[in-house]
Amino acid sequence: MKDQIITGLAHIALYCRDTAKSLDFYTRVLGLDHLFTQKHPDGSLFYEYIHAGNKTFVELFPTTEKPAGPHAGVAHMCLAVSDINAACAHIKSQGYTVRREPTMGLDGNLQMWLDDPDGVPIELMQMMPDCLQYKALKK
């Protein structure tokens, strides 16, 4: 069995034309738990964070753009990794470009970014013990 780099789906990020309506849908209608709101340094909404079970989450990002078709759209896919630096080295060794090197995110997790062959943004995230997600789950 080959070494497994990906440990699971961490979250799916969605662009929302009406973030409050989407938050209501995912929490009140579908029964998921709202964990926290992340703001930009200027105080404006960055995203809403929702628990989708186990260690899987949904991020809701506001957008003012009107995407084609009936859906606001997927912002990116996030895959969980146990060692972000090893994952980064592996991806580079396979000839793929890393768009953003590993760095600490506002939620307290290590993250890096790359694109799949069709240009879909992929975030790889190493969840840290004191991250906002785990703190919110403990409440």
Ordered domains of the chain (ranges, CATH): 7-138 (3.10.180.10)
% of the chain with per-residue pLDDT over 90: 50
Mean pLDDT, residues 17-34 taken together: 87
**What's the Rg (C-alpha) of the chain?**
16
- Pairing verdict, β 121-126 and 74-81: parallel
Within the chain, how many helices (H) and strands (E) appear?
A: 3, 8
Mean pLDDT, residues 120-135 taken together: 92
Whole-number pLDDT of residue 73 = 72
Distance separating alpha carbons of residues 111 and 106, to the nearest angstrom = 10
User: CA-based angle 80:82:85, to the nearest 5?
Assistant: 100
Whole-number pLDDT of residue 118 = 62
Mean pLDDT, residues 41-53 taken together: 94
Mean pLDDT, residues 36-53 taken together: 94
pLDDT at position 116 over 90: no
